[in-house]
């Protein structure tokens, strides 16, 4: 029932097997068309790229997509069970209407041909359709269901999903529905088969409340002079509680304390009490295992402590040393239900490594994973560590990043290139650009890089490491003629901030394009303009792709400019990446957004806007415009659609970056507020002779 491609790493093999079975058992196999059996969608979700990767050209993709045009949209079993991919349209009320659809075409954006794609059936529609056509059941696919199948619409509809562990991460079962000669049905559920090179792991949830040493926490405590690795072992002091494995309130309190100032303050007092050099003025607690080299440790120290439960008056929690260093307590009378030990390793003094002894290199896989772990403290948001790493792994597999487009860079000591003591890290995305020289209208294709995820671990900040990394990055990315000679005093060349990250004597990164337009979502009711159509994510990406094909023509249609112009080529992969980045936020998991863009006809053209969502409350949840193709006449209707959706999704702002001067009157008409933002600043470095550069379509 459709979607045989774009659903994993083996789309070619899957659809080839199905077509082969159809040829062998032509009267016993029926292959219906899904919304992914189309040219536009397969260029977005991976089948096109898979064919290129496996065959070196797009011929196989073309043969299959030509074949897809001839696949049937629906099937009828014994005149009683109606099968299709997605859902029903209210405009179709009889089977004869279905038979009259011209299906031999690319999937259109609108019209009756879309009935089998994407539309989720409604109870009233399905009930009437079944009654009018003498049907007992509608069987469909298209929608992930965790058990593999799901009844809905008063059991008029069954959804069957046959892809186990969808996208290798959803953990769902799959199902097959078997129908006998009496039209009785049974469901066969199954789990995913193990994949080569990925052994099954039976993971047991640990019991944290087992008595002494029930909780083990590793932290870095950073002072102005030292870095200490602190191990906290927490045990339940009361014998009865130990036997019953019952956690105390203070146990839970301590486990939650790493982000709380009272625990940090108490830890500072204990460390200061025993005379550590440079006792910390702050306790920066990072709840991840330390991978700092143990060869630099100079001493070990330990003490036992008690953690007093809060009194009824709600006094502060605190740590209290119950013995001299290294000695066990003689009594637990004052333990208050909890006791434990602290071990401290004085790892190394925070001295600045000479910058000429550092090098920038492409990260090994181990360094790549370690750098991701270190960034979790900044960007994990709602994920735990495992979920954060899994999410990054998934994003790395998408079209915008795969096939070597995404590279992680690390700054490390030159004499320890494989070390996991990473001083600073960043990522680059290789992208195609179009360049129009000054005074010309014809463009040429070249290569550009988008730089992201610049991060320095807290213990290495303030040492100039990130600035040196960004300076070295010029020599890693640019052609030799694009940068000056590598300064000898910098050591080994690589295989207010950005502006000083220059390649030797040259200029550094220049912040460009901070003009921002913001629309506040009103409390009053607003209406959609007539003719405006809201778009699902797939419809929004498809509309964007259709316009991207003509992007080069639009760029070259502009009048000659006295300065060089360039633009990143718009791609479906980048558009989709911007849309899905935050879609596992708890805000969107419980209530996924339904609309990702809007379009309107303007003469022979389709004008559109596509956007993404940001759940952050700093300052407010908002829609951010990814791309817009409009004139001053169509812009107001499209931006009002975005505001209407933002209100529906309970977001407070709509934001767009660097809109063209031709839209100024429309921005004023729609009451957009124009300002220069101070965050998420795009910075540019051009490796050419030109001094003035115009970055076209510098948007999200």
Catalytic residues: 36
Residue 509 near residue 685, CB atoms below 8 Å: yes
Nearest to 372 by CA among 395, 402, 348, 346: 395
Residue with tokens 């957004």: 593
The DSSP 8-state label assigned to residue 208 in this structure reads S
Query: What distance, in Å, lies between the first and last C-alpha atoms of the chain?
Result: 36
Is 440 buried (19+), middle (13-18) or exposed (0-12) by CB count in 10 A? middle
**386: left (phi > 0), else alpha (psi -120 to 50), else beta?**
alpha
Is 445 buried (19+), middle (13-18) or exposed (0-12) by CB count in 10 A? exposed
Residue 570 near residue 676, CB atoms below 8 Å: no
Residues in the chain: 700
* Cross-strand pairs, 656: 517
Cα–Cα dist 254/258, whole Å: 8
Cα–Cα dist 236/215, whole Å: 10
The SS3 call for residue 560 is coil
Cα–Cα dist 411/417, whole Å: 9
- Packing angle, helices 365-379 and 385-396, rounded to 10: 120
The SS3 call for residue 53 is helix
Residue with tokens 């505001």: 643
Cα–Cα dist 554/660, whole Å: 14
Nearest to 157 by CA among 180, 132, 140, 135: 140
Cα–Cα dist 102/82, whole Å: 19
* Cross-strand pairs, 623: 613, 654
Residue 221 near residue 228, CB atoms below 8 Å: yes
The Cα-based distances of 311 to 308, 314, 315 in angstroms read 9, 5, 6
Phi and psi at residue 485, to the nearest 5°: -60, 145
Residue 624 near residue 610, CB atoms below 8 Å: no
Helices of type H across 7-46:
11-24, 39-45
| Cis bond upstream, residue 619 (ω within 30) | yes
What b/e sequence results for 173-184 when a residue is b if at least 16 CB atoms lie within 10 Å of its CB, and e otherwise?
bbbebeeeeeee
The SS3 call for residue 519 is strand
Residue 361 near residue 417, CB atoms below 8 Å: yes
Phi and psi at residue 333, to the nearest 5°: -60, -35
Q: Who's near 551: CB < 8 A, 6+ residues apart?
A: 434, 567, 569, 570
Residue 473 near residue 408, CB atoms below 8 Å: no
Residue 276 near residue 323, CB atoms below 8 Å: no
Residue 6 near residue 46, CB atoms below 8 Å: yes
Cα–Cα dist 257/171, whole Å: 32
Q: Who's near 272: CB < 8 A, 6+ residues apart?
A: 279, 280
């Amino acid at each position: 029932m459709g979607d045989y491609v774009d659903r994993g790493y083996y789309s070619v093999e899957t659809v080839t097997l199905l077509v082969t079975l159809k040829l062998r058992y032509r009267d016993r196999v029926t292959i219906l068309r899904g919304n992914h059996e189309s040219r536009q969608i397969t260029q977005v979700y991976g089948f096109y790229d898979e064919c290129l990767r496996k065959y070196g050209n797009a011929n196989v993709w073309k043969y299959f997509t030509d074949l897809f045009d001839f696949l049937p949209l629906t099937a009828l079993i014994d005149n009683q069970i109606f099968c299709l991919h997605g859902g029903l349209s209210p405009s179709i009320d009889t089977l004869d209407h279905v038979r009259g659809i011209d299906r031999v075409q690319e999937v259109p954006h609108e019209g009756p041909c879309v009935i089998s794609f994407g539309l989720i059936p409604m109870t009233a529609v399905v009930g009437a359709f079944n009654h009018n056509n003498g049907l007992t059941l509608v069987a469909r696919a298209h929608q992930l269901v965790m058990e593999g199948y799901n009844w809905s619409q008063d059991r008029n509809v069954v959804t069957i999903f046959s892809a186990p562990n969808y996208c290798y991460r959803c953990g769902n079962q799959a199902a097959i529905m078997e129908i006998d000669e009496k039209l009785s049905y049974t469901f066969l559920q199954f789990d995913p088969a193990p994949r080569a090179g990925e052994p099954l792991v039976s993971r047991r949830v640990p019991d944290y409340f087992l008595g002494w040493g029930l909780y083990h926490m590793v932290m870095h405590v950073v002072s102005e002079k030292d870095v200490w690795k602190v191990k906290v072992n927490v045990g339940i002091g009361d014998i009865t509680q130990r036997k019953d494995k019952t956690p105390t309130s203070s146990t839970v309190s301590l486990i939650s304390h790493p982000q709380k100032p009272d625990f940090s303050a108490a830890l500072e007092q204990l460390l200061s009490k025993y005379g550590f050099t440079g006792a910390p003025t702050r306790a920066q607690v990072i709840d991840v295992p330390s991978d700092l080299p143990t060869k630099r440790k100079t001493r070990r120290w330990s003490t036992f402590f008690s953690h007093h439960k809060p009194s009824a008056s709600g006094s502060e929690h605190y740590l209290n040393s119950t013995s001299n260093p290294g000695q066990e307590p003689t009594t637990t009378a004052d333990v208050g239900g909890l006791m434990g030990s602290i071990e401290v390793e004085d790892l190394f003094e925070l001295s600045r490594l000479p910058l000429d002894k550092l090098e920038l290199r492409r990260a090994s896989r181990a360094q790549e994973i370690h750098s991701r772990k270190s960034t979790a403290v900044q960007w994990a948001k709602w994920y735990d560590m495992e979920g954060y790493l899994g999410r990054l792994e998934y994003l790395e597999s998408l079209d915008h990043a795969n096939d070597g487009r995404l590279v992680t860079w690390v700054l490390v000591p030159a004499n320890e290139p494989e070390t996991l003591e990473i001083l600073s890290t960043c990522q680059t995305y290789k992208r195609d650009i179009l360049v129009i020289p000054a005074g010309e209208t014809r463009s040429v294709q070249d290569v550009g890089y988008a730089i992201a995820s610049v991060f320095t671990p807290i213990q290495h900040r303030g040492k100039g490491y990130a600035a040196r990394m960004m300076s070295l990055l010029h020599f890693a990315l640019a052609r030799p003629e694009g940068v000056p000679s590598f300064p000898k005093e910098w050591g080994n060349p690589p295989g207010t901030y950005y502006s000083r990250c220059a390649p030797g004597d040259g200029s550094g990164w220049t912040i460009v394009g901070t003009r921002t337009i913001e629309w506040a979502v009103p409390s009053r009711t607003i209406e959609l303009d007539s003719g405006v159509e809201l778009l699902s994510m797939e419809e929004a990406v498809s509309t964007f792709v259709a316009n991207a094909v003509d992007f080069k023509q639009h760029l070259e249609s502009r009048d000659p400019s006295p300065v060089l112009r360039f633009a990143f080529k718009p791609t479906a992969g980048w558009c989709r990446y911007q849309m899905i980045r935050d879609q596992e936020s708890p805000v969107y998991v419980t209530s996924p957004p339904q609309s990702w863009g809007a379009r309107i006809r303007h003469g022979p053209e389709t004008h559109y806007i596509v956007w993404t969502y940001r759940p952050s409350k700093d300052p407010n949840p908002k829609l951010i415009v990814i791309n817009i193709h409009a004139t001053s006449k169509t812009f107001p209707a499209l931006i009002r659609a975005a505001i209407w959706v933002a209100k529906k999704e309970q977001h407070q702002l709509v934001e767009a970056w660097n809109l063209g001067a031709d839209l100024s009157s429309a921005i004023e008409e729609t009451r957009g507020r124009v300002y220069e933002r101070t965050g998420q600043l795009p910075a540019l470095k051009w490796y050419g002779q030109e001094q003035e550069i115009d970055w076209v379509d510098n948007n999200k």
